[in-house]
Structure 1
Amino acid sequence: MFKIIIITACGSFFLSTCAIADCVYDTGGTTPTLTFTPPKTLVIPRNAAIGTKVYTSPIMILTSRNYTCDGVINTGVRNLVGTQPVGSSYVYPIGNSGLAFKWSYTGASQSELYYLESFPNSASYTNSYLTVNGSSNGFEIIKVGPVQTGAEIPAGNILESKRGSLTDTILSLSQKIVVTESTCTTPNIMVSMGDQKSSGFSGVGSRLTPKAFNIALNACPEGIKGVKYRLDPTTEIVDPTSSVIALSKDSSAIGVAVQILDNIDKPLPLGTDLVFSGYKPVGGNFIIPLKAAYYQTAKGIKGGTANSSLTFTMTYE
């Protein structure tokens, strides 16, 4: 007795048809590539917080593309320039640069911008014919870690949107981007107090005529939105309210300290971040005008050398 055994991957019926879950373009359909021209240099504020948006691309409109999807398939964005995110994410690392891409998207009939999620996400279709036309696409670059100055974001394809095995859109750069951190040049400062007479003091808490000096901010690049600065003494703070600091150990004067003032002779807060109101985002050269004065701390004064020092720290926004 003869028996016929028919083996099929899709069922138990002779001449059955196997449906493969996937998406396919219409005849002649091809994957569109949106090519952006970014700046050649991307300047990142040195103290920018994690998550700070450091660049937003222009928007490009995607022309019509048609394809058919059937079955349960994986969709989402694949990262072509760094590690593929694990799990659901909208952030695509750019190598080890400390930066990442986000793909922004607004549908033709939508008004709200949202971000495309990483591959793979499961989606179910039943022989669905899809037409995508007129969507707005772009990308953002955000800070995700310590920025590697001199790192390069390569030209070429950076992100691709997948529907099954079909690539439905590619984002590309026409030129590489070199990453730098934005800083101003700040030279060391030597304030010459000159020879001054103790007879100018009138008692504890009095001071001699202040000496003006400037903190120079040179060659500040365009794009820094704001600057904060702080002064931290390398010696003891004698009087925080009056911004008085002790002399250094190599000084021989007694009963004297140094007071730090702003340009209108008010005590300058020490160890505190202060906004420099004179800064302009166009960049260039700036000065922070300050003053220093000898300050009497004891009834008995002995003349001699009277030195002190502070460190100067800038924070960029």
Structure 2
Amino acid sequence: MKKKYLMATTLMAGLALSSTAFAADGIIHFTGRVVDNVCNVSPTLNVMMGDITADQLGNIGSSSAEKKFELVLTDCPASLNGAYVKLDGTRDDKDPTVFQLDNSGQPGNASGIGLQIKDETSVIEPGAISQSWPLDPLATSNTLPFSATYKVTDKITTGDANVSVQFSILYN
């Protein structure tokens, strides 16, 4: 009995030691940096697009009237020279330049349109970055102007036409 126990113990010890023979050492590098403070901005902005009829929107490619809105940056440190905005959201299947409606095609929700957002110079596609705005270090606030329109991408059905877009402020 002792002989079997000794053989089993020796076998287990051998297996345990052999697994460590395949171990490898390595190094994990953590990188980062300490940066200046950034501007304050309201994390939520509600833009009321209003009611619009399907007839007012027209055919595929047509857009509604522009609705202007602003992101306002406050308390910007003097070390920041400029800011730009990255907009993220779901891209419309029919037109890559527009953001898809939330719950598009579901009961009570519109379909066939998306939301197109522009800065002062061009359309900002989902996942893209806006123009850069200079920041005035002496100003109490810096305003970044935008506009939004509904754009027809397919046959329109009526209902709620809400869109959620995430934004990130990037600095240069």
For the 8 Å contact 2:83–2:135, the answer to whether it is kept is yes
- What is the aligned partner in structure 2 of residue 313 from structure 1? 168
SS of corresponding position for 1:297: strand
- What is the aligned partner in structure 2 of residue 254 from structure 1? 111
- Alpha-carbon separation, structure 1, partners of 2:53 and 2:126: 27
Residue 184 of structure 1 pairs with residue 71 of structure 2: no
Unmatched 5+ stretches in structure 1: 1-143, 148-179
**Structure 1 residue 257, shift from structure 2 partner:** 1.3
Q: Deviations over 1:15-36 (max 9, x none)?
A: xxxxxxxxxxxxxxxxxxxxxx
206, 225, 228: which one aligns with 2:81: 225
- What is the aligned partner in structure 2 of residue 145 from structure 1? 32
More helix by share: 2
Alpha-carbon distance change, 292 to 213 in structure 1, aligned in 2, over 3 angstroms: same
More strand by share: 1
Alpha-carbon distance change, 284 to 223 in structure 1, aligned in 2, over 3 angstroms: farther
Alpha-carbon distance change, 275 to 211 in structure 1, aligned in 2, over 3 angstroms: closer
SS of corresponding position for 2:69: strand
**Structure 1 residue 272, shift from structure 2 partner:** 2.7
Q: Deviations over 1:240-292 (max 9, x none)?
A: 3xx2111011761121211112246x422432333423423445311111111
SS of corresponding position for 2:159: coil
The share of aligned pairs that are identical, in percent, is 30
For the 8 Å contact 1:221–1:284, the answer to whether it is kept is no
Residue identity in the other structure for 1:181:
D
TM-score, length basis structure 1? 0.39
For the 8 Å contact 2:92–2:114, the answer to whether it is kept is no
- Alpha-carbon separation, structure 2, partners of 1:146 and 1:237: 37
Q: Deviations over 1:110-133 (max 9, x none)?
A: xxxxxxxxxxxxxxxxxxxxxxxx
1:153-302 alignment runs, 5 A limit: 181-187=36-42, 188-233=44-89, 235-238=90-93, 239-240=95-96, 243-249=97-103, 252-263=109-120, 266-282=122-138, 284-299=140-155, 301-302=156-157
1:91-170 alignment runs, 5 A limit: 145-147=32-34
Unmatched 5+ stretches in structure 2: 1-30
Number of corresponding residues: 137
For the 8 Å contact 1:221–1:282, the answer to whether it is kept is no
- Alpha-carbon separation, structure 2, partners of 1:316 and 1:256: 32
For the 8 Å contact 1:221–1:283, the answer to whether it is kept is no
For the 8 Å contact 1:222–1:283, the answer to whether it is kept is no
- Alpha-carbon separation, structure 2, partners of 1:237 and 1:253: 13
TM-score, length basis structure 2? 0.69
- Alpha-carbon separation, structure 2, partners of 1:215 and 1:283: 15
Displacement over 3 Å in runs of 4+ = 281-284
Rg larger in structure? 1
